[in-house]
Structure 1
Amino acid sequence: MLATNQFTNTISTPLDDFDAFLENPLGYKLTIHQSNTIGNVIKELHKDSEGYIASCHLNKDGKMGQKFYKIDDYECETENAFFSVNTFYTKCRNSNCVYELKGFFSDIDTYKIGLTHEQVIWLLEEDILGIKIPYPTWLISSGNGLYYILKFSNNIKAREDNKINFELKEKWKTCMRFIYDVLKDYGADANAMDASRVLRIDGTYNIKNNKQKEVTILKNYGNTIDDIDEFIDLWLPNEYIKEKPKTLLKAEYTVERVQTLKENGKKYGKSLKKLNLERMRDIMRLVEMRKGDCAGTRNYMLLLFAYHTLQTNQGNLEQALQDTHLLNNSFDEPERTSQVNAIVRTAHKAYLGWLNGEKVLINGKWCRKGYNYTNENLIEKLCITEEEQRKLKTIKSKKLVQEQRNKKRREKRRNEYGLTQREQQKQETIAKIMALKEQGFNNTEIAKRLGIARQTVSKYVNQK
């Protein structure tokens, strides 16, 4: 059962001058939602839920344990406790197992931009809420950051008759991406947008590094939205969603075509295999550079590694399992064997979709299935620094690639003495001028003999 707790209550004071606010942030006080129970958000968000809600607990060793409950039987800890915003059709916290979509959310790390909760909320209410995105149902202090949660008033099922509604889930992802884009300047976390995400429970305590902070509902706006389509109609800009193509033709390179190209050693097959092989090596280099400490990106690395392994070995699932388990063993905290197996199966499913040329809606665009991410996306998802990028082969920003290309071009232009063609010609001309000068010729005579201006001869002679 949900435990009880008591929140403090303060008075809201409006403030018009943000400069004065930065100097005196206490001039703006938050009205903290007053309650005597833990998990008010859970009870309101999931009051009509039919699926399983994940209840997670971070123990003192830093390991996450989880259980699954229906709403009537829900239980949680009072410290470092988390719940899933969406529900699952089975006792497995995985995006493919999501049953009901309960709303939109964003994890805003306010500490990353050096502002307090009060300052960020003031900015959001001034420039964002009700203008670019709707007011949330709740704004919650997670201890170090804020949660933006917007509840659906309708119960939206992402899975019915044992079939996943992929189009609905992609619409949800597109809306989540838009909310992130709006809030990223305020510290929104790019890695907190998956449907299986868990958030801290209001009324519990966030304990980290021996510091205890209360997870508190700071603002209870009570706003809701009917469903995803209403959000798209009212808030989503046109550039985020495009019309579905009339026909979804298979990609140019079908299963047989890719196989034939690889067997014949054609350029497409070779370059594709080389790219995926280098991506695998880059992930291994990244783990090595971080000395196995890949908290927050470990499972994403495993998924990408498994996918690129399958691309390289033409879908050999057994080999992909073996290679991915080897990578998993190189982490400080390896993932469970069963979870690694599930990750590889997910990657295999994506590979088959790519191979058959299937299409999927991603961020408003119909794209070929598979984890074919751009370098910018990989850098953001894996939190790769510029220093790390310089040691990788393929995962680099456009700016760094251009910088390295320019450096190679400059080096290629120079001879064994480090001179460009123009610099070499200049040195040869100076040598000829000085040789003629030693023979007793004056500047005018040297200029006529070499076919250059007299001023040029004078300039080089004076330099010597």
Structure 2
Amino acid sequence: MENLLRSAGQRQNHVLFHHEKADGWITLAKKEKSGAWRQYHYEPDQLAEELPKWTGEDVYFSQNTFYKPQRRIENIRQLRALYVDADCYTLGYDPEWVAGKTDLEIFQGVLPEPNIIIYSGRGLVYVWLIEPVPYKALPLWQAVQNYFCEKLKYIGADSKATDATRIFRIDETVNSKNGKTVRTDCRHQHRYILRELQEEYLPDLTPKKEKKRGRKPKIIHIHNLRTLHYARLMDIVKLIKLRNGEVEGHRETLCFLYRYWSCCLTDDAADSIKQMLEFNGDFAVPLQKREVVRATKSAEKAWLAKGCPKANEEAVKKGYPAAGYNLKNTTIIKLLDITTQEQEHMSTLIDSGEKRRRRGERDKRRYQRRKEGKPCRNEYIKEEKKKTADIILLLKTTMERHPHMSNRKMAAQLGISESYVRKLKAVLTPKQVRTGCSPLY
């Protein structure tokens, strides 16, 4: 297939292609010869003008966007790509050979074909572009990301390069470690839908409707924990804003919790320290760098213990669900002196009183909807299911009569979006649809 990026004829099209119709701030970074990082943030409409200035050695850009010019996990605005950084050179593999190997062994059903392969100088990076999803989808995004990385571990996939704030090299810049020019191979322009990737490649992430006794499958348990960690991390960020950075007496505790939850989310201890130090900078009176790193060191130790079978076994014997810090909401609320007024702005750090208040608010809204004659949730779901069933019937008929009709034309004919057509096709007969056959033959 012709390389779409190179046909455009401009180096910066790598970034523009990746961030087409993006929303939020995009980071461009350059590592200077002194080892220091020069990092700037631009909005999408500034990229075309600014990119030509970023040339030479060790130039990078962020794969996702941020709602403000800070490359931190709690500032994620749009998740726009999945990626795997394969350090194949550590295994003595040639990147070209690895690309051919994965084409035969992985991208024929184990994983979908990536949109872009970045030949970074010594290794390569696989990039799957996705329809943008907001920060609330981060736990699901991270679960899919980690799964993709695990499947490519045998060719040197770096499990520490899976965080949402990751930056990668730009096409036609230079890797100073060996002097090679970075190049990209663009395979296709289709953007995947995150939920569809999860459903097709991570079936265990969605529990079956039938209730069964015993523990939840491991993947579901990890996904739920990651969701909790992210919600709590976002809550303490919100707490800092509510208090205008005035958190004396709680600074060490806040940094400790941030570092621990960040480690659990990104699986990258070094990056978690960097982000914690930036978080510390949000305080009205920040702690000294050396002091805060030393004071929160046990957070990293606890995170490492979570991956140690012996430590987990010991924790279970003592009555804990697992190793690490398994703090209750009430404990965190007490540690940080979170008031009832502040809890109204929290998503998960709330006590029983705030839960009752929210339940009462939901009941009031439900009563008002009934009073206005609006259908209840169950009735609404039934009505939507009927509509979906009708659309599926029409789609089946259309596919039978026009087996080679494009998704775009089908969407126009049925009055629905093209992405919805793809979703329904995947549910109907995934294998037959991918091969272009009618599901009714």
Give TM-score, length-normalised by structure 2. 0.49
Rg larger in structure: 1
Give TM-score, length-normalised by structure 1. 0.47
> Is the helix fraction higher in 1 or 2?
2
